């Protein structure tokens, strides 16, 4: 089982400040000897015209790189919903058609963010309705809709519930290993819960430690954090090796305090089982803050020098994370050839 291959790639958001489009992103992935890439938003394409999308599919095939596709928020009640996308069903269909055109078998999307937890049950209901409205088209196209556990919107148990309510025959998981921090969840628990549904991923590390108000968490490059990724990959190989491991590395942000020792924190987590939370507490107790070098972007417009440093940090942290995935975790196929 230890020899089970896991394809390695990255999500385009990792190097967002370079503003590269499809062909450039594919060429970059090929230069790093990767197997996959996730083009996680429609803005990643130079054009959505059928002729151009056909060229993207052909170019990816020539390079031997598999594409996972994506769009954004699909919940019309979420603060992250963009009404210019039309109805949720229209937006889903548009993304699925693009995915089909470039040869992708999955399309990532998400419900919302942490601000939606106060109205989460209703948000989940309308998201399920939106997904069910495109079931027949998804099955006809052969595109699996992959719901991401996104920026604090849902815990793994809730994401699983949404997938099963919508229909696991066409809805799966875009497993994000960084976002569980914002819902006080151990990423290994997230993997164990969602593994049967995983079709694509966002993989990144987090530095977690105790704080007087609860815990503190910060996204870091792979290998710099507190998550046991050797164990993570061991479980991944066993339970969902068919899904590419797409690194979504996000650094340059300050630590976030998770104030779970304060009563108000729990108002939006009324159903969290104690045993699940205990897993996160253990992670915080055994974890550590990140003490290495990192450029941190502050609020508002950054100076040109800071913007340039943050941009270069995206590339550096992605490439050293990919190097860690290859050489320490043994992930990836083409680089071994």
Contacts of 46 (CB under 8 A, 6+ apart): 21, 22, 23, 52
The percent of residues above 70 in pLDDT, for the chain, comes to 99
DSSP conformational letter for 119: G
CA dihedral (324, 326, 332, 334) positive or negative: positive
Considering the domain boundaries, does residue 236 fall inside one? yes
In a domain, 2, yes or no: no
> Which tens digits make up the pLDDT trace of 274-332?
999 999 999 999 999 999 999 999 888 999 999 999 999 999 999 999 999 999 999 99
For position 154, what pLDDT does the model report? Answer: 98
**For the chain, what is the domain count?**
1
In this prediction, residue 1 has a pLDDT band, given cuts at 50, 70 and 90, of: very low
Residue 80, in any domain of the structure? yes
The model's pLDDT over 91-144, given as tens digits with 9 standing for 90+, comes to 999 999 999 999 999 999 999 999 999 999 999 999 999 999 999 999 999 999
Please report, for the domain that includes residue 79, its CATH number. 3.20.20.150
If one counts every other C-beta atom within 10 angstroms of the C-beta of residue 310, the result is: 18
pLDDT in the model for residue 329: 98
Average pLDDT over the chain, rounded to an integer: 97
* pLDDT tens figures, 31-82: 999 999 999 999 999 999 999 999 999 999 999 999 999 999 999 999 999 9
Within a domain: residue 1?
A: no
pLDDT number for residue 2: 56
Domain that holds residue 169: 8-336
pLDDT tens for 160-205 read 999 999 999 999 999 999 999 999 999 999 999 999 999 999 999 9
Q: Is 126 part of any domain?
A: yes
Longest dimension (CA), the chain: 57
Whether residue 3 lies inside any domain: the answer is no
């Amino acid at each position: 089982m230890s020899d089970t291959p896991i394809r390695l790639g990255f999500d385009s958001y990792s190097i967002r400040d370079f503003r590269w489009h499809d062909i450039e992103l594919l060429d970059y992935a090929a230069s790093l000897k990767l197997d996959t890439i996730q083009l996680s938003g429609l803005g990643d394409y130079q054009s959505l015209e059928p002729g151009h999308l056909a060229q993207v599919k052909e170019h990816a095939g020539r390079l031997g790189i598999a594409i996972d596709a994506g769009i954004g928020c699909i919940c019309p009640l979420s603060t992250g919903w963009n009404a210019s996308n039309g109805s949720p069903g229209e937006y889903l269909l548009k993304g699925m058609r693009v995915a089909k055109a470039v040869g992708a078998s999955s399309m990532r999307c998400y419900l919302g963010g942490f601000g939606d937890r106060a109205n989460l049950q209703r948000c989940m209901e309308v998201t399920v309705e939106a997904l069910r409205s495109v079931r027949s088209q998804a099955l006809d196209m052969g595109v699996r809709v992959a719901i991401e556990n996104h920026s604090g919107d849902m815990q793994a148990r809730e994401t699983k519930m949404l997938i099963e309510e919508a229909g696991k025959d066409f809805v799966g998981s875009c497993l994000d290993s960084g976002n569980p921090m914002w819902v006080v969840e151990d990423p290994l628990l997230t993997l164990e819960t969602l593994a049967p549904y995983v079709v694509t991923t966002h993989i990144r590390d987090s530095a977690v430690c105790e704080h007087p108000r609860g815990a503190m968490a910060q996204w870091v490059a792979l290998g710099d954090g507190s998550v046991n990724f050797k164990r993570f990959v061991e479980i991944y190989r066993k339970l969902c090796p068919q899904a590419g491991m797409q690194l979504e590395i996000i650094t340059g942000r300050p630590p976030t305090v998770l104030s779970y020792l304060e009563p108000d924190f729990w108002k939006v987590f009324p159903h969290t089982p104690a045993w699940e939370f205990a897993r996160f507490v253990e992670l915080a107790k055994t974890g550590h803050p990140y003490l290495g070098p990192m450029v941190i972007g502050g609020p508002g417009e950054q100076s040109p020098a800071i913007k340039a440093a943050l941009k270069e940090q995206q590339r550096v942290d992605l490439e050293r994370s990919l190097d860690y995935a290859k050489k320490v975790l043994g992930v990836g196929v083409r680089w071994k050839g």
